């Protein structure tokens, strides 16, 4: 069975993938984290994002179509699995040592 289609990229991520090389050229030796930070600054300062938003909308439409095809061909909507997941079981909270010692003090006083 084939894998479920990956979610589409956001407008920002599409833009960042196209601008990453230019950011690196303008800032030689820049770290990966600094590339992302600089990209965020440039994206926020950008006035017209319509080109990237249109590309993201198209990618989302393509993704939704691919998911429909995937599910129609025997894929499952639950991450490629046909089994449904149950609820996660919560573990009981542990008492703190402070709470334990307070309980002991109360027991000693009541004796």
pLDDT for res 3: 83
Return phi, psi of residue 67, to 5°. -65, -40
- In terms of Cα–Cα distance, which of 16, 15, 39 is closest to 27? 39
**CA-CA distance, 25 to 35, in Å (whole number)?**
11
Contact 8, 59 (CB under 8 A): yes
pTM above 0.85, yes or no: no
pLDDT for res 60: 96
For the chain, 111 residues long, the average pLDDT of each consecutive 10-residue run is 84 94 91 93 94 96 94 71 51 60 53 49
């Amino acid at each position: 069975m084939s894998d479920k289609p990956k979610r589409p990229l956001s407008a920002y991520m599409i833009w960042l993938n196209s601008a990453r090389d230019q950011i690196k050229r303008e800032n030689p030796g820049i770290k990966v984290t600094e590339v992302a930070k600089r990209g965020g600054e440039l994206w926020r300062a950008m006035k017209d994002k319509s080109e990237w938003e249109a590309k993201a909308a198209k990618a989302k439409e393509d993704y939704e179509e691919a998911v429909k095809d995937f599910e129609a061909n025997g894929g499952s909507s639950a991450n490629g699995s046909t089994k449904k997941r149950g609820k996660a079981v919560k573990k009981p909270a542990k008492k703190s040592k402070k709470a334990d010692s307070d309980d002991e003090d109360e027991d000693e006083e009541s004796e």
